[in-house]
Each structure stands twice: as structure tokens, then as C-alpha cells.
């Protein structure tokens, strides 16, 4: 399954690694691609194994997107990759150009991950201290496992070993703090933060753009779009939901004046750059005597009118709603489709739509 191109890179670009969440088989990579696409970053996927994705791209541009992905746990720049045995790793480190990553004044750590039960004869702990010794000897830098200036990541994946410098890691506790029960107002229909963030990113919205959630509920998706720097408009048919969403955004210090009571079948705004939403299914959230299918059938033509050229609509619905047919019958092209098992009686279908 591992595919890698070992040829030399173009001068302007570097090789990066992303460690994605293993929570879903297709959403994390789709989210990463959508973020790269949204920021017009030319990239090439040069390797992938389980949660590891290797990308060649422009160094400065990739910094722009650090921390945006709900399902991106870590990113960094690759220093080297070799075969997964001690002699190749030693040779790789000795011949690597380490100066650009580590100097004698730096402190550093090396932590190794193993994906998919590979390279069993290499102990992670042994490899960490072996690499620590090699890097210290070659650069004069000192090991500091508690608060290193330069945290290195080793990854055993497939038949290769990768060594990289971590440039971004999801801050500890950041997801926990945004969990539905930690917000000012809880509602069972709300979306967990990683999935909500992923839906926002699948819409390819950029910071500063107008983002719409036409069924905003207590604001699970609106919070994530707002944290990404979007101008958020959230609409819900129930005043109490709008009030709760306002409280939830305020809880995170986010602007809440874009949250309004309204009907998604008759939207109170003229344009939006991107839309991501989770309409009511009639279980956790009320469909107000309608059905998910009928609500979507009335909402999609509205979405078509207000969406900026090239804009995307992302929505979830219970599998079996007939979302693909519905989207196509309203003149949308289905760019992407994912299934997400929630529990015995609910599997969500997530669609990414755009202009035909
Ligand atoms: C699944 S909830 C949204 C949850 C939200 N994404 C979150 O993460 O907190 C769906 C919401 O749609 C609202 N709703 C139902 N019919 C509507 C309509 N016609 N127009 C706008 N909102 C509607 C419900 O009141 C409910 O709050």
C-alpha cells in the first residue's frame, strides 16, 4: 500500500508529513486535500501509509494551514526517510543535511511512532535513544525530553523509517474544551468538534470569507467556522436554538451577531462563499412537522442562488434519505461522498456539492 517517490525534490518545495486521525477511513484525507485546495497550495502526495500522509509542497504556504484540520493531529517537515533497519537509519542521519533543522544551541527530542504493527524487530524506545545520540553527536544539540525547542518525530510505516521535525501539533486539551458538554449550552443534536471542523473544511472556506450554516442548532459547526476566522452566518428556525448558539459562541469569545432566527427554506441572506450544515433528522432535532428530505428539497435551490461562484455546499443526512439523487436533481455536482457510522440506527451520509 505504501507508494513513495524517492527522487530529488524541486528546490522551492519541501517534503512534509501529516499524521491524520484514524477515526475515519476517508474523511481525514478528504479534509486535508480540501484545505490544500482552499488555499490554492500546489501539492503532490508522495507517500501514504495508514495515518501518515507525505506531501511535497511549498514550505511557506503550508505554514498557512497549520492547525486548521479537525482530523490532522500533527504536521512537520521531513528530514529524511530510509529503509527500516538500523544501518540504513544510521547512514541516513550521517548523510542528512541537519544544519537547517538543528544547531548546537538547540535542545531537541525524538519520539517514534509505529503504524500498522510494522518493523517489529526495531524497538521504539531503543530507536528514540539511538537517534537522540546520533543527532546530538552530529550537531552538538542537547536532548531535552520535557520542553525541547526542536521536537523530532520518527515514524515506522510500511518498510520505511521517516524522521521529521514537528512544526505543528494539536494543542493538548483543545478538542476536550470544545466538546458539546463543555459548552455553555448542550443539546443532543449538536456535532462533536472534530467532525464539525471537518465539514467546515470540506466546504473549502478560507478565513475572512462568509460561511453559512442554515440549520445552526446550538452552534457546533458555527463555532468551528468562527474559530477558523470566517464571517459566520447561522440560521435556525427556533429562537431558543439561536439564543443557545449565541451563548455557545460567546463562551469561546467568538462574535455571535451573525446568528439569526430564520427558515432555511427561505434564507434571509443574499450570498455566502461556502455552506456546511447538518439538517434536522427528526430524532435529536425537530424537522418542524416536515421531513429531512423535504427540508433539503426546499433548501438546496436556495443554496444554489446564494452560493458564490465555485462555492461548495457540504451537508450530512441519514443514509437512505436519497441525498445524492436530491442534490443532482437540483443541478448540483456531487464532488465527494462519505459514510459515517454513528450508532445502530444512524449512519450519516456526507456530501460535498458544487456547480455542475
Ligand atoms: C441537527 S440540528 C443542528 C446542529 C448543529 N449543526 C450543531 O452542531 O449544533 C438541526 C437544527 O435545524 C433546525 N431546523 C429545523 N427545521 C429548520 C428550518 N426549516 N430552517 C432552519 N432551521 C431548522 C432545528 O431547530 C435544529 O436546531
Q: What are the residue ranges spanned by the domains of the chain?
A: 13-169, 174-355
Q: How far apart are CA 276 and CA 211, in angstroms?
A: 8
215 Cα: distance to centroid of ligand 1 (angstroms): 4
Q: How far is CA 260 from CA 51, 219, 268, in A?
A: 39, 11, 9
Answer whether 224 contacts ligand 1 (Cβ < 6 A). Answer: no
13-169: CATH class: alpha beta
Instruction: Render pLDDT for 283-300 as a digit per residue (tens, 0 to 9).
Output: 878 888 899 999 999 999
- Out of 3.40.50.150, 1.10.260.40, 3.40.50.300, 3.90.226.10, the CATH code matching 174-355 is 3.40.50.150
Answer whether 191 contacts ligand 1 (Cβ < 6 A). Answer: yes
Q: Specify the residue with its C-alpha closest to ligand 1, atom 26.
A: 217
Q: How far apart are CA 65 and CA 159, in angstroms?
A: 29
Over range 60-78, report the average pLDDT: 93
Task: Tell me: pLDDT of 7 over 50.
Answer: no
Answer whether 236 contacts ligand 1 (Cβ < 6 A). Answer: yes
Candidate from 190, 202, 236, 346 with most ligand 1 atoms within 8 A of CB, to mutate: 236
Q: What is the pLDDT of residue 12?
A: 60
Q: How far apart are CA 276 and CA 291, in angstroms?
A: 19
Q: How far apart are CA 229 and CA 235, in angstroms?
A: 18
Ligand 1 atom closest to residue 264's alpha carbon, by position in its atom list: 20
Candidate from 185, 187, 189, 224 with most ligand 1 atoms within 8 A of CB, to mutate: 189
Task: Tell me: pLDDT of 49 over 70.
Answer: yes
The SS3 call for residue 235 is: strand
- Where does residue 270 rank: exposed (0-12), middle (13-18), buried (19+ CB within 10 A)? exposed
Task: Tell me: pLDDT of 152 over 70.
Answer: yes
Model's pTM, two decimal places? 0.94
Ligand 1 atom closest to residue 236's alpha carbon, by position in its atom list: 22
Burial state string for 157-178 with b = 16 or more CB within 10 A and e = fewer than 16: bbebbbbbbbbbbbeeeeeeeb
Is the CB of residue 295 less than 8 Å from the CB of residue 266?
A: no
Amino acid at each position: 500500500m505504501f507508494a513513495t517517490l524517492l527522487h530529488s525534490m524541486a528546490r522551492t518545495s519541501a517534503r512534509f508529513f501529516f499524521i491524520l486521525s484514524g477515526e475515519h477511513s476517508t474523511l481525514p484525507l478528504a479534509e486535508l486535500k480540501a484545505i490544500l485546495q482552499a488555499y490554492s497550495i500546489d501539492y503532490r502526495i508522495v507517500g501514504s501509509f495508514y495515518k501518515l500522509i507525505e506531501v511535497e509542497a511549498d514550505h511557506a504556504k503550508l505554514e498557512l494551514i497549520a492547525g486548521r484540520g479537525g482530523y490532522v493531529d500533527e504536521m512537520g517537515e521531513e528530514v529524511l526517510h530510509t529503509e527500516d533497519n538500523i544501518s540504513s537509519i544510521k547512514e541516513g542521519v550521517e548523510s542528512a543535511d541537519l544544519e537547517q533543522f538543528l544547531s548546537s544551541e538547540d535542545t531537541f527530542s525524538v519520539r517514534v511512532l509505529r503504524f500498522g504493527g510494522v518493523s517489529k524487530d526495531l524497538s521504539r524506545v531503543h530507536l528514540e535513544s539511538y537517534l537522540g545520540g546520533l543527532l546530538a553527536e552530529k550537531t552538538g544539540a542537547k536532548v531535552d525530553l520535557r520542553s525541547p525547542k526542536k521536537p523530532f518525530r520518527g515514524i515506522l510505516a510500511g518498510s520505511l523509517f521517516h524522521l521529521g521535525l514537528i512544526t505543528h501539533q494539536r494543542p493538548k486539551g483543545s478538542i476536550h474544551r470544545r466538546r458539546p458538554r463543555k459548552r455553555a449550552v448542550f443539546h443532543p443534536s449538536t456535532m462533536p468538534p472534530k467532525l464539525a471542523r471537518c465539514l467546515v473544511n470540506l466546504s473549502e472556506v478560507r478565513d475572512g470569507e462568509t460561511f453559512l450554516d442554515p440549520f445552526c442548532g446550538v452552534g457546533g459547526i458555527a463555532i468551528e467556522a468562527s474559530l477558523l476566522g470566517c464571517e459566520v452566518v447561522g440560521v435556525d428556525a427556533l429562537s431558543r436554538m439561536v439564543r443557545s448558539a449565541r451563548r455557545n459562541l460567546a463562551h469561546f469569545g467568538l462574535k455571535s451577531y451573525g446568528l439569526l432566527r430564520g427558515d432555511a427554506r427561505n434564507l434571509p441572506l443574499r450570498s455566502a462563499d461556502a455552506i456546511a450544515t447538518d439538517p434536522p433528522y427528526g430524532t435529536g432535532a425537530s424537522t418542524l412537522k416536515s421531513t429531512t428530505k423535504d427540508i433539503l428539497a426546499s433548501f438546496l435551490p436556495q443554496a444554489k442562488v446564494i452560493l458564490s461562484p465555485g462555492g461548495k455546499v457540504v451537508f450530512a443526512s441519514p443514509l437512505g434519505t436519497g441525498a445524492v439523487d436530491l442534490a443532482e436533481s437540483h443541478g448540483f455536482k456531487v464532488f465527494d461522498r462519505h459514510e459515517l457510522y454513528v450508532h445502530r440506527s444512524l449512519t450519516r451520509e456526507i456530501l460535498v456539492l458544487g456547480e455542475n
